[in-house]
Structure 1
Amino acid sequence: MTSTQPRPHTYQPPVKQDDKLDYEQVLDDLSSASVHRNFDPYLDIAWDAPDMAVVPNDSRWILNYTVDPIGRHPWYQALPESEQIRIGMWRQANVAKVGLQFESILIRGLIQYADRLDNGDKRFRYVTHESKEECNHTLMFQELVNRIDMPTPGMRRWLRLLSPIIPLFSTLTPTVFFFGVLAGEEPIDHIQKDFLRAGRDSEMHPAMSAVMELHVAEEARHISFAHNHLRTTIPKKGRLAKFVLSLVMPLVMRVLCGAIVVPPAEFAKEFNVPREVMKEIFWESEQSRVFLSGVFGDVRMLADQCGLMNPVSRRVWKALGIDGRSSRFRSEPAYTAS
């Protein structure tokens, strides 16, 4: 990808600044970053370069043993290489299709959210910038799906059916909507960062790595906005509202994570995956449970910061299998955990 100009300044939080001014400064910085550090998938990815071509029997599509829960399962490892490649292409094309569909839901919700903001509200500019970036992401994901050329549906059927309704939450219950934003963005971001880290030691198809690199670069801003927005708005709510939100947050995270990360029923049908294998991969094996817990380290940190961790909500996080140590800082790699 081509380099972009740096932001003209770096944000330094003023001393003893109140929450409103601090949040508005963050919005200014995020909007500035969207202007000075942005990407276009048709300028910054060399789609027609020879090494980007998608060709048959390319072993770079084999799923990574370290990162992908399907790739590490003995059932997948025992398959002929040609079938591993075919499954890998389908799997990665479907992940891109899921990303496209999720971004589409997010764009519609953000535009509706912006439409309700008052004149002069700095959130309007930032969420519109973010919507524009997400539109580019949908173009990028669809381009990758088209080039891999596998019949992938994307999200699981029930979520595809509900997708026209979900954006309504951005105006009816904005806090829950932004829970949903993080429930989709955090797992995708977590998985892509793991793939890119693993890619340093293993070969990945350059089309896939280019898409991930661009997406991760801009998604950092989007996740930062959701964190800052929730961290600013939730503590101002009443005790009952915060208690209800403390229970809703882990439920949204678990339901949407499963809907986004677990392949749709078409995957098992296409490749004759035994039912017990699918159950073990998602989420009965020890490795899969560790992965599921690790996805939400940053969100647990956010829940702590927002005052949404209490004895009852902690039991909900645990019952859903997404409890664990909170991150010490955003995007903390799992290998730094103590």
Structure 2
Amino acid sequence: MTTTQPRPTTYTPPAKHAVETDYEQVLDDLSSASVSRNFDPYLDIDWDAPHMAVVPDDPRWILSSTVDPIGRHPWYQALPEEKQIKIGMWRQANVAKVGLQFESILIRGLMQYADRLPNGDKRFRYTTHEAKEECNHTLMFQELVNRIGMETKGMRPWLRRLSPIIPLFSTLTPTVFFFGVLAGEEPIDHIQKDFLRASEDMHPAMSAVMQLHVAEEARHISFAHNHLRTTVPPKGRFAKFLLSIAMPIVMRVLCGAIVVPPKEFEREFDVPREVLNEIFWDSPQSAAFLAGVFGDVRMLAEQCGLMNPVARRVWRALGIDGRASRYRSEPAYTAS
């Protein structure tokens, strides 16, 4: 499988004053949008409507054979429908739980970051808006988990144990923290957009949650991209070199921790180890999915001056290299 698009040229940052002016305007626009277009999961989702009920043996919980990495594997497709439904419900509940846990880490980090900002800094208002929106997302995700009724743990155990420490990076090394923000937001956003584009017969509770989350997450991802494009290029050569190596490592480690189900999934459903390895990430399809998740981040790395020859080798060694997106949220394009 080969890509047909040329690699973008190296990003040349504009003058410092122009960057600062543009960034200030972006912060104003994002803050205004947070006020004029925001959602409340208990006002905008009709949880108690009859069509939203979670009922036994509903085939709409069967995982997508075109989008979900588990759903497209022959092992899953060969299972009886009853077990496919149960796995699908567990999988979707666990994805929601992971989203909740990630948002919780992000909220704590954003509030610590905002606490260190000086009076008058426009980042304070936007990051606080974002934290408020993420609080609504945690309510929404937990409501979905509760209604599905599956007992799921969410993130892998090591990440759950580290979760109290990760927010500290927002003040110790803010750039790496925002790498981590994108490492969590980009895969979740990518997967949810793929589901929504596929227009398959999803359960309405799932589609409502995804639509609301994708709508607000666009702002959050836009902030992280603009923040890094503004703050990274002025750094010294050695600092940027270290960041260029850290960026793909953070992306790969956190993507695996967030996307791959915890050990409980393997035990609960007797999933053969070789099947799980194929799903994440040994098959050509799963490898293409992993690389495709980070097209926007590779574009950002180019724009920030973080895609040097050594960094390219790290991206390639981690299996997350490929064509950079030409614009944010560009659908993955490959040609055989």
Q: Normalised by the size of structure 1, how large is the TM-score?
A: 0.94
**C-alpha distance in structure 2 between counterparts of 1:113 and 1:334, whole Å:** 33
Deviations 1:147-198 (A, max 9, x none): 0000100000000000000000000000000000000000000000001111
**C-alpha distance in structure 1 between counterparts of 2:141 and 2:66, whole Å:** 23
**2:235 aligned partner:** 237
Q: Determine which of 228, 241, 259 is the counterpart of 2:226.
A: 228
Deviations 1:52-71 (A, max 9, x none): 00000000000000000000
Which amino acid in 2 is paired with 1:227? Answer: H
**C-alpha distance in structure 2 between counterparts of 1:275 and 1:122, whole Å:** 49
Alignment partner of 1:195 is 2:195: yes
1:18 deviates by 1.1
Give secondary structure in 2 for the equivalent of 1:235.
coil
**2:63 aligned partner:** 63
Which amino acid in 2 is paired with 1:192? Answer: Q
**2:302 aligned partner:** 304
Alignment partner of 1:183 is 2:183: yes
Give secondary structure in 2 for the equivalent of 1:48.
coil
Name which structure has the greater RCO, CA cutoff 8 Å, separation 6+. Answer: 2
Structure 1 residues 91 and 41: CA distance shift in structure 2, 3 A: same
**C-alpha distance in structure 1 between counterparts of 2:304 and 2:322, whole Å:** 17
Q: Equivalences for 1:287-298 in 2 at 5 Å?
A: 287-298=285-296
**1:120 aligned partner:** 120
Give secondary structure in 2 for the equivalent of 1:143.
helix
**1:129 aligned partner:** 129
Gaps of 5+ in 2: 1-14
Which amino acid in 1 is paired with 2:297? Answer: V
Alignment partner of 1:150 is 2:162: no
1:287 deviates by 0.1
Give secondary structure in 2 for the equivalent of 1:130.
helix
Structure 1 residues 337 and 144: CA distance shift in structure 2, 3 A: farther
Structure 1 stretches of at least 4 aligned residues deviating more than 6 Å after TM superposition = none
**2:165 aligned partner:** 165
Structure 1 residues 336 and 43: CA distance shift in structure 2, 3 A: farther
Structure 1 residues 329 and 337: CA distance shift in structure 2, 3 A: farther
**1:8 aligned partner:** none
Which amino acid in 2 is paired with 1:283? Answer: W
1:334 deviates by 1.4
**C-alpha distance in structure 1 between counterparts of 2:33 and 2:83, whole Å:** 43
**C-alpha distance in structure 2 between counterparts of 1:72 and 1:82, whole Å:** 17
Deviations 1:307-326 (A, max 9, x none): 00000000000000000000
Tell me the percent identity.
Answer: 84
**C-alpha distance in structure 2 between counterparts of 1:243 and 1:17, whole Å:** 24
**2:109 aligned partner:** 109
**2:213 aligned partner:** 215
**1:282 aligned partner:** 280
**C-alpha distance in structure 1 between counterparts of 2:252 and 2:16, whole Å:** 37
Structure 1 residues 275 and 336: CA distance shift in structure 2, 3 A: closer
**C-alpha distance in structure 1 between counterparts of 2:275 and 2:94, whole Å:** 19
**C-alpha distance in structure 1 between counterparts of 2:18 and 2:262, whole Å:** 46
**2:79 aligned partner:** 79
Give secondary structure in 2 for the equivalent of 1:72.
coil
**2:7 aligned partner:** none
Which amino acid in 2 is paired with 1:240? Answer: F
Give secondary structure in 1 for the equivalent of 2:164.
coil
**1:255 aligned partner:** 253
Which amino acid in 2 is paired with 1:48? Answer: D
1:337 deviates by 7.8
Gaps of 5+ in 1: 1-14
Alignment partner of 1:267 is 2:265: yes
**C-alpha distance in structure 1 between counterparts of 2:79 and 2:298, whole Å:** 38
**1:32 aligned partner:** 32
**C-alpha distance in structure 2 between counterparts of 1:45 and 1:223, whole Å:** 23
**C-alpha distance in structure 1 between counterparts of 2:275 and 2:308, whole Å:** 36
**C-alpha distance in structure 2 between counterparts of 1:111 and 1:43, whole Å:** 25
Q: CA RMSD in A?
A: 1.3
Structure 1 residues 224 and 337: CA distance shift in structure 2, 3 A: farther
Deviations 1:233-292 (A, max 9, x none): 000100000000000000000000000000000000000000000001000000000000
1:21 deviates by 1.1
**C-alpha distance in structure 2 between counterparts of 1:94 and 1:264, whole Å:** 9
**C-alpha distance in structure 1 between counterparts of 2:240 and 2:279, whole Å:** 34
**C-alpha distance in structure 2 between counterparts of 1:28 and 1:17, whole Å:** 17
